Structure 1
């Protein structure tokens, strides 16, 4: 008789063994997400302290970040930046109804679509975490590594696969482009 494992726990174990991560505020890994090839570990927080990892865009080779000068400012637009050990690039998943909130280590705020906008090209922002009420802060990752917002049904992207440092993240109709594929 074989063993039965729940997928979130198997993913969490794999992420803990192979991914660069932060627990609390102590850096414990140095490999980039591209080097590890790992994806989001749904339920990783069940193992104890929250597990933080970078969101690495497969199309641009850069990481999702909160601009350093605006760490504590709500409504700040998310950008891409060369991956580093900056806490502004580290995120954790918090389980909520319908998916996960994506919470930034440096600011303690969550990735959100302002006012539940459903407009193509709208920029995701950081906003105080609300437990997932309204869906603007609820995200799910699919088998193609796309992060889709629960409310808008659009995916997180770096439009036109721009490699410019500081390019804004945006939401767009989910498709097959690498600018919508994110590794943890």
Structure 2
């Protein structure tokens, strides 16, 4: 397993998302980010979690989000991606921040929030294991062609704890080309304790 930093974009409340007040409350009250499925159901059980974490539902989340997203147990996160152009012998980098910001603001048409954090990712497909995210952008792991591969998605499951989210930024393209507000999470925990580095003593 490895630790992956991410950016999560969510639209403002007038476009089916959340307000800046709600974004801060998710960190202040240590609620974190819940999947749409958890929010729609309200209370969930471990049995229900096992039932919804399937390959079929992950595919629906990735390729039929317009009809399935409102009840998806998965959470899309941007981590960036590299496109290889074999004809020109060049690689092109797609920014996680740009991808998340475009999603949050509806291609810069309204306000939205970006959450910055980290998640644990499995090196192989492990859809039924809720503790690890899926690196669906990784062609050496997920081989199927996808029109959304260049969005650089890492797919979390069910919930992202608040203490894994470092900060939230409120963006409003009509006001500024930079964040209008930034909230640093006082409950944030660095992933250092779970990394395989031991200090000498």
Q: Please, what TM-score do these two structures have when normalized by structure 1?
A: 0.28
Q: Which has the higher helix share?
A: 2
* Greater Rg over alpha carbons, structure: 2
Give TM-score scaled by structure 2 length.
0.27
Higher relative contact order (CA 8 A, sep 6+): 2
